[in-house]
Amino acid sequence: MATAPDFVEQVRKHQKIVHKVCHLYGDTPEDREDLFQEILLHAWKAWPAFRQEAKFTTWLYQVSLNTAISYFRKDKKQPVRQPIDASISLASPSADDDTEQQFKAMYLAIGELNRIDKAIVTLYIEQYDYRTIGQMLGLTDNNVAVRMNRIKAFLKEAVKKHL
């Protein structure tokens, strides 16, 4: 049986997952901080039911994304599209200006997606397969594949606009 220290250790080890989701879904630093706390609360409440059938990181992504999607719905923050803070450095410090601009353009384009599509892209970038993404978000494999094809086409055009 997993214990509280196990939970704390795992969250510390994988907190970047939660921060990534918070940056994708939160408009302001305050929104991101509130969402971070909300995700941790939901994860803590769900921890006793975690059966370790999946990796902790997969479980944490699922809790984080589901919390983020429902959190803003619950608070009546219903805009379909949310801008993402492109002022943060997204590339490594040694990346050239072109690479940095491309990263910023990609993240701005991702920020234009609706909440579910953002979740799909986030999980895809983390190299989860369509089946796992579908299970985490309550979608069929086929629906994820169709959405991903549409997302790729949208991102290709949206990135061009931001460059």
> Same domain, yes or no, for 51 and 118?
no
pLDDT at 54: 86
Q: State which residues of the chain have pLDDT below 70.
A: 1-2, 74-96
pLDDT at 78: 45
Structurally, the chain folds into a number of domains equal to 2
Q: Which domain holds residue 102?
A: 84-163
CA atoms within a 13 Å half-sphere pointing along the CA-CB vector of 28: 5
> Same domain, yes or no, for 120 and 142?
yes
> Same domain, yes or no, for 65 and 100?
no
Q: Which amino acid is at 19?
A: H
pLDDT at 71: 85
CA atoms within a 13 Å half-sphere pointing along the CA-CB vector of 139: 21
Q: Let me know the angle formed at the C-alpha of 55 by 51 and 60, rounded to the nearest 5 degrees.
A: 85
Terminal C-alpha separation, the chain? 50
